[in-house]
Amino acid sequence: MPILPQVAMPFVRLLCKFWINHKVPKQALDDILGIDITIEGGEKFGISSHKIAQLHRVAVEQTGDLGLGVRLGQYVALSDLIIGNILMRSKTLAAGIDAFMAHSTMVSESGRFSLVKRNNGYICLSFIPHENIDFSSFQKDMVFASIESWIVKIFPDANEHIQYVYGGENFRTIELEKLLASPIREGKDTYLEISTSLLARGNPEADELLLAQNLEQARKVIAKRTQRLELYVAVRSAIKECLIQRCATQENVANQLNLSIRNLQRRLKEAGTTYQAILDDSREALALNLIKDLDTPLYEISFLVGFTEPSAFYKAFRRWTGKRPGDYRQDVMQQSVKNETLNAISSVDELPY
């Protein structure tokens, strides 16, 4: 899992445009992001997955619309996204889903897709968040409503071959049926069940040229993100060493990397970030890792991530996650148990389709 998994900035802007159009106050979004999302460019090339979870939660709270995730997914499917084109232009649906899964990190690094063949003639397409990543049922609604919409565009009768399993709370079946093309049923998690006959069917929208163009664009995006990540990892590693020594200054970090401050700043600018941004991310990543150790007191975590006062750490932690450290630690414990259960379920009867 990449350090501090991120969601690509163009995709975040797409989400925020939808939320603002649905009367979510822009300031509420900017307060979480720490930037004005409508301004193109800037330092960031992605937004932390933790902040994306906060955005989804705030959007639902502000609108009171528990179907917002589904509406958002359908909106995403109307956009000209590379990842959607890859799914829709492949020779078969099976090939499209394979390619979609292989290139999904160009949009989000928050987790991984799992494809499991059942014994009833269906496959289960699910999404498993990385450890300690908050990924709500509303976010899964966005993911699977968009995938369902793309599939229905290709195959108008897809609703006869897809089951939308919904694991969220406080939402009646009849309300979901109004929003989704496919039959739904309640479950412990949100995922799609797709018939193997639909997977094998030839895609009438297949286009080898367009598929190749979109795959090439996806590879370039992923390669660029990988290069940025390599520099990010090197700087973060140096910062971690300096944090341990209580000397996390830009000069000391540059020395660790055998660079001048000017060269370090230049390379970070080319990567679309800054030293201060990575320092903040490094503190966040270290804090989120340390907080999993229940034997480490919160005041000690505060010291280990470079804060001289616990109050400053608590304020920063709330900015990072939207929660107090103690509350977050409780949520981590509960999410860990849930992920273990989902991993156990997805490993049963796993077969190639």
pLDDT band at 47 (very low <50, low <70, confident <90, very high): confident
What's residue 339's pLDDT?
Answer: 61
- State the maximum Cα–Cα separation within the chain, in Å, rounded to a whole number: 62
- CA triplet 342, 343, 348: central angle to 5 degrees? 100
Q: What is the pLDDT of residues 72-106, one digit of tens each?
A: 999 999 999 999 999 999 999 999 999 999 999 99
Q: What is the pLDDT of residues 201-225, one digit of tens each?
A: 999 999 999 999 999 999 999 988 8
More confident site: 125 or 346: 125
What's residue 352's pLDDT?
Answer: 47
Q: What is the pLDDT of residues 141-200, one digit of tens each?
A: 999 999 999 999 999 999 999 999 998 665 667 778 889 989 998 888 999 999 999 999
More confident site: 339 or 135: 135
Is-contact 218 86, C-beta < 8 A?
A: yes
pLDDT band at 229 (very low <50, low <70, confident <90, very high): confident
> Domain 6-206 is of which CATH architecture?
Alpha-Beta Complex (3.90)
CB atoms under 10 Å from CB of 306, counted, come to 21
Rounded Cα–Cα distance for residues 114 and 336 (Å) = 18
What's residue 225's pLDDT?
Answer: 80
Is-contact 152 78, C-beta < 8 A?
A: no
Q: Mark 252-281 as b/e (b = at least 16 C-beta within 10 Å).
A: ebbebeebeeeebeeebeebbbebeebbbb
Report the predicted TM-score, pTM, of the whole model to 2 decimal places.
Answer: 0.76
Break the chain into its structural domains and give their ranges. Answer: 6-206, 210-290
CA 172, 111, 35, 239: dihedral to nearest 10 degrees? 150
Nearest Cα to Cα of residue 288 among 108, 45, 49? 49
Gyration radius of the chain over CA positions? 21
Rounded Cα–Cα distance for residues 331 and 327 (Å) = 6
Is-contact 177 184, C-beta < 8 A?
A: yes
CB atoms under 10 Å from CB of 164, counted, come to 25
**3-class secondary-structure state, position 285:** helix
Q: What is the mean predicted confidence (pLDDT) over 229-244? A: 86
